[in-house]
Chain A
Amino acid sequence: MSAAESAALSEPAAGDAESVARRRRLNPNLIIGALLVGLVVVLALVSFVWTPYDPTHVDAEARLAGYTADHWLGTDKFGRDVLSQLMVGARTTLFVGVVAVGVAALLGTPLGMLAGMASSGWVRELIMRGSDLLLAFPALLLAIMFGAVFGASTLTAMIAIGIATVPTFARIARSRTLQVMQTEYVMAARAAGRSRRAIAWRHVLPNIAGLLIVQASVSFAIAVLAEAALSFLGFGTAPPTPSWGRMLQEAQELLAVAPRLALWPGLGIAVAVLGFNLLGDGLRDRFDPQLDDRR
């Protein structure tokens, strides 16, 4: 330890300063996660303006083409360009995550905050027991039910996955809300005459947002996996919209002939899931105040 460091440590605020500095330093999780997620986002964005071919264009001449100059990642059994499908599939993947996480966060966060702040024990119990009930129900089963009732589509599947994720957000929001409600600044705000709604909006929400963002990232990864699984089962994205999960399903029967057809969408899913998970971990390191005490 250098003299400067030991001098800094003797300052009472050194602990604070150090932890702030550590948080500010970009950690590898955050960088790698952001890069992987960025890759998926770029693929999706580029697909809006340019793809090598129309991803639904069937070219009977070029069925099951390998890696060629015309088709960089080859074609599938109908002669559709794999790279084009992969790029447009990235759009589906992101759409899926945004819908599922959006539904979960928009419903779960207010419910969790309510469960943490409501003066009526009745309301709190109702919310938390309801969320326990939902947690006990498998998400994929819920999505399949939704598909059966409202018609299988990416949107219904993802709304179902989102609803199944509501308890996760509600629980995190509630536990952090309980903590924040114990803090002196909430006490001081109440002593100053602020209403509950104002306290929720101005004091609680900004202070619990960090953890919720972390959870959003992790839930995003789960939603991507769920969509792939549902599409594989035929309850998710309906043809001909390209989806990584459906590409996998179509590649399955040709696994022995053309394993590359499974490789690329599989890689895509892996990159997206790993990316969002790492991003979540990285964000947690920066946002979670409790981590400071543990180290």
Chain B
Amino acid sequence: MSMGEVRADQADAGRDERGEPVLEVEGLTVGLGGLELITELAFALGAGERVGLIGESGSGKSLTALALIGLLPEGLRARGSVRLAGVGHDLIGASERRMSAVRGRRMAMVFQEPMTALNPLMKVGRQVAEILLLHDTEPDRESAREAVVELFERVHLSDPERMPESYPHQLSGGERQRVMLAMALANEPTVLICDEPTTALDVTVQARMLEVILEGVERHDSALLFITHDLPVVATVCRRVMVLYGGRLVESGPIAEVFTRPRHPYTEGLLESSKFEESDADGRLPTIPGSVPAAGRFPSGCPFRDRCHAASERCTEWPGWTGDALRGFACWHPRGGDDG
């Protein structure tokens, strides 16, 4: 089998998996005053599709997630359009009341820090049960209590009968994160957003947690938007990946393709720096020169041009998107020739 065929197969695998789009994002721009933190983001998630969102710290990953679920920090404004299947209105600009009905029901989120994401003064079972009652998934406290036990079983918490009676401080980080996942999956959301859900966990606990997440989204056919800077984790969890830099989408495509043949120099740099076997004579790992600028300090045009070894005059202008929604990049000087 030639290289070309492998690529085509994998690309098709990526395409076939896409069901009806359940989340459609167009022209998503997040700004603070005159400052653009996220620029013209456009992507779609199919039902049950698992997509990774990667990039360094400060590239706008978490901000994207918060913009989708409508929980941007005060002062930040989102423009553009976010459409979610089963919701009759645009999520951008929707009222707090309407968003409350969407959050936790159609769209749920698991946060990075399990140690602080649970109210320290409430038993964990109660916290999950309230989410079920809130969205009328369960009619009364009694049935909600039973549903919590079942949810805890599904996320493989040990002792699901007794666990709901625990307070957060009695649980380990991994256990708390499972409780958070149980909470997020409680109402079988159409889209589950995980913002670095395993970063704060022990490496040994991480792998198990990832399995539990995958099991959870598969059971409900939820689309998964998985945010991380950990490339091996993306490779295990997701089928498709989007690379974010400076608040712009710089490359996207099926994992196998993006990771074996990156087109954007930034993606290439990210991949290089995660190859631990490749160190230079001094034993140093390859890195991307420079560091991520502070928000709003990205250069005009291609945000990566001041750190890019291939940058030229043309890069002062935004290159635009080459390719389609499934496989594409935004670069004047793509790696690996100029065939798509």
Please report the number of residue pairs spanning A and B whose Cβ atoms sit closer than 8 angstroms. 66
Known: A185-B118, A187-B71, A188-B180. A195 touches B104 (CB 8 A): no
The prevalent SS among residues of A at the interface is helix
Q: Flag if A194 contacts B100 (CB, 8 Å).
A: yes
Contacts of A6 in B (CB 8 A): none
- Assess whether A229 is interfacial by the CB under 8 Å rule: no
- Assess whether A29 is interfacial by the CB under 8 Å rule: no
Contacts of A191 in B (CB 8 A): 69, 71, 103-104, 108-109, 111
Question: Once the chains are docked, how many angstroms separate the CA of A5 from the CA of B121?
Answer: 29
Known: A190-B103, A192-B103, A193-B102. A185 touches B108 (CB 8 A): no
Question: Once the chains are docked, how many angstroms separate the CA of A189 from the CA of B117?
Answer: 9
- Assess whether B116 is interfacial by the CB under 8 Å rule: yes
Question: Once the chains are docked, how many angstroms separate the CA of A188 from the CA of B116?
Answer: 10
- 8 A Cβ contacts from B122-172 to A: 122, 130-131, 134-135, 169
- Assess whether A183 is interfacial by the CB under 8 Å rule: yes
Contacts of B101 in A (CB 8 A): 193
Known: A119-B96, A193-B104, A195-B100. A188 touches B121 (CB 8 A): no
- Assess whether B119 is interfacial by the CB under 8 Å rule: yes
Q: Flag if B108 contacts A192 (CB, 8 Å).
A: yes
- Assess whether A203 is interfacial by the CB under 8 Å rule: yes
Q: Flag if A193 contacts B117 (CB, 8 Å).
A: no
Contacts of B109 in A (CB 8 A): 188, 191
Known: A193-B102, A193-B105. A207 touches B96 (CB 8 A): no
Closest to A203 in B: B119
Question: Once the chains are docked, how many angstroms separate the CA of A195 from the CA of B99?
Answer: 10
Minimal beta-carbon separation of A255 from chain B (angstroms): 52
- Assess whether A202 is interfacial by the CB under 8 Å rule: yes
- Assess whether B183 is interfacial by the CB under 8 Å rule: yes
Q: Flag if B104 contacts A183 (CB, 8 Å).
A: no
Q: Flag if B96 contacts A188 (CB, 8 Å).
A: no
Candidates A187, A196, A206; contact of B96 at CB < 8 Å: A196
Contacts of B102 in A (CB 8 A): 193
Question: Once the chains are docked, how many angstroms separate the CA of A202 from the CA of B111?
Answer: 20
Q: Flag if A193 contacts B103 (CB, 8 Å).
A: yes
Candidates A119, A188, A192, A207; contact of B120 at CB < 8 Å: A207
- Assess whether B26 is interfacial by the CB under 8 Å rule: no
- Assess whether B113 is interfacial by the CB under 8 Å rule: yes
**Chain B residues in the interface with A (C-beta under 8 A):** 69, 71, 96-97, 99-105, 108-109, 111, 113, 116-122, 130-131, 134-135, 169, 180, 183-184
22 A–B contact pairs at CB < 8 A?
A119-B96, A185-B116, A185-B118, A185-B120, A188-B109, A190-B103, A191-B103, A192-B103, A193-B102, A193-B131, A193-B134, A193-B135, A194-B100, A194-B134, A195-B97, A195-B100, A196-B96, A198-B134, A202-B122, A206-B119, A206-B122, A207-B119
